[in-house]
Amino acid sequence: MPRPILATIHTAALAHNLARARATAPDARVWAIVKANAYGHGIERAFDGLRSADGFALLDLAEAQRLRALDWRGPILLLEGCFDARDLELCSRLGLWHTVHCNAQIDMLAAHKTQVPHRVFLKMNSGMNRLGFKPERYRAAWTRLNALPQVEEVSLMTHFSDADGPQGVHAQLAVFDAVTHDLPGERSLSNSAASLRHNAALTGRSDWIRPGIAVYGSAPDTPEHSAAHWGLQPTMTLASKIIGVQHLAAGDTVGYGSTFTADKPMTLGVVACGYADGYPRHCPTGTPVLVKGVRTRLVGRVSMDMVTVDLSPVPAAGMGSDVTLWGRAAEGAVLPIDDVALAAGTVGYELMCALAQRVPVVVV
């Protein structure tokens, strides 16, 4: 029998969440963001659930090729654009749309020989200071791009740094509007947090929304709001089983470093899941976990291949009992990936992206 760990990708939940994202901007088209191998879900595995997207956005050219291999003929957008001149040949050949965020990318495009003019998304740095042209440089870049025979159409794009927090999108939106208000072209503004939290301010402003994390069933603004608050469903379940049971007396310790000491007699389950499976090593004692669908807690340190869990709330549990590390238990109970991420001091994004290669995956 294989080691009992298993990840499940939930196709219906992906479709549901994508529809939820779409409902925030019913007049806009939706890029399903599938970078980082569809946030760890696997592009091929997630594809069925995301078919109703208007396009797919990512940043690896190899991932774009995989989408074309799935026979996706619709739009694909490279969110970081081209990394060198040869990438433009692939864009021409596969009909990829690409972001232009710096002058070097315009130079490459100007030197590119193509029969098929390209659709580009010109990115403004409206305050995040990652990729994009500063507002005062943006119109010059637009003018230059627009004059190139290699360019068919220029769309306008920016990315919000604080859509998930108290600062919101208003300052960046004002900068973007001031520079672009009289430029033609479609606009693409909103990530998940902007779509969910600021849809009123953004209505009619974004022709293409760019939801990522919401599509994968995690709240962009946790712990302020939960995935359930936004009507999102888990798209990835990480499950395993209890492969050992230990009875501890008061004073006994657990695992490497003996970081947990039992204060009374207790029963522990040893679960076949560790950091080599993508479960964060930083999860401390108290991190939530489901055993037979009942919420209990991790105790002691996460090791490479195992974690130990407190079976006190689940006296019926024993060898072979089902354990849900995140996602949906067979009993129907949900352990939000965001709850585990919070305990580990990170975000759901990192957990799903880090699912390890050795974990078998099924799609339902």
Please report, as ranges, the residues that interact with ligand PLP according to CB under 6 A.
33, 35, 79, 159, 191-193, 210-214, 220
C-alpha to C-alpha distance for 102 and 88, rounded to whole angstroms: 15
Nearer Cβ to ligand PLP (278/348)? 348
- When CB distances to ligand PLP are compared, the closest residue is 212
Least Cβ distance, residue 59 to ligand PLP (angstroms): 7
Nearer Cβ to ligand PLP (131/323)? 131
Active site residue 35: yes
Nearer Cβ to ligand PLP (272/354)? 354
Least Cβ distance, residue 157 to ligand PLP (angstroms): 8
Least Cβ distance, residue 209 to ligand PLP (angstroms): 9
- DSSP letters for 32-72: EE-HHHHHTT-HHHHHGGGTT-SEEEES-HHHHHHHHHTT-
Least Cβ distance, residue 229 to ligand PLP (angstroms): 16
249 class by beta-carbon count within 10 Å (0-12 exposed, 13-18 middle, 19+ buried): exposed
C-alpha to C-alpha distance for 69 and 65, rounded to whole angstroms: 6
Kindly name the residue from 113, 138, 241, 256 that is annotated as catalytic: 256
240 sits in which H/E element: strand 236-248
C-alpha to C-alpha distance for 54 and 47, rounded to whole angstroms: 12
* First-to-last C-alpha distance (Å) of the chain: 21
Nearer Cβ to ligand PLP (220/278)? 220
C-alpha to C-alpha distance for 257 and 241, rounded to whole angstroms: 24
257 class by beta-carbon count within 10 Å (0-12 exposed, 13-18 middle, 19+ buried): exposed
SS3 339: helix
Cis peptide before 223 (omega within 30 of 0): yes
Least Cβ distance, residue 161 to ligand PLP (angstroms): 11
Single-letter code of the amino acid located at 338:
D
Active site residue 275: no
Nearer Cβ to ligand PLP (98/292)? 98
Nearer Cβ to ligand PLP (217/255)? 217
Question: Do β-strands 151-158 and 187-188 pair in parallel, antiparallel, or remain unpaired?
Answer: parallel
Least Cβ distance, residue 331 to ligand PLP (angstroms): 29
Kindly name the residue from 35, 123, 241, 292 that is annotated as catalytic: 35
Catalytic sites, residue numbers:
35, 256
